[in-house]
Amino acid sequence: MSKQDSHFIRVFSLVIGTLATIAIVFFIIARYIGAHTQEREVLSENEYIHKLQGNVAPSKAKAVAGRSTAGPAGAPATGASSGGLSIPTTGKH
């Protein structure tokens, strides 16, 4: 093996080793950051889901108002217009 070949192999191995080490360090940093931020995100996600369910619940009650008497106080009677867009009952306009 010539001197140039052995030099190339050493430099090539050094570059590949350095890139692999950097990739492992990035992976460890990403796992560390992800572990700490995920805990906060899961807690805030539960709060978000509860708020979302609270916002969606009245519209669910309006959608089934004709079938049940459960609904928010002061909700418009079945068939009454609430000032929003009317929902078509047939496919014809």
Q: What is the pLDDT of residues 29-67, one digit of tens each?
A: 999 998 888 777 766 777 777 777 777 766 555 555 556
Q: Which residue has the tokens 């009454």?
A: 80
Check residue 17 and give its pLDDT.
Answer: 98
Taking all residues of the chain, what is their mean pLDDT, rounded to a whole number? Answer: 75
Contact assessment for residue 78 and residue 65, using Cβ atoms and an 8 Å cutoff: yes
What's the pLDDT score for residue 47? 77
The DSSP string of the chain is --HHHHHHHHHHHHHHHHHHHHHHHHHHHHHHHHHHHHHHHHHHHHHHHHHHHHHHHHHHHHHTTTT-S---TTPPPTT---SSPPPPSSS--
Give the pLDDT of residue 83.
Answer: 56
Stronger pLDDT, 72 or 24, i.e. the higher one: 24
* CA–CA separation, 63 and 58 (whole Å): 9
pLDDT in tens, 2-15: 999 999 999 999 99
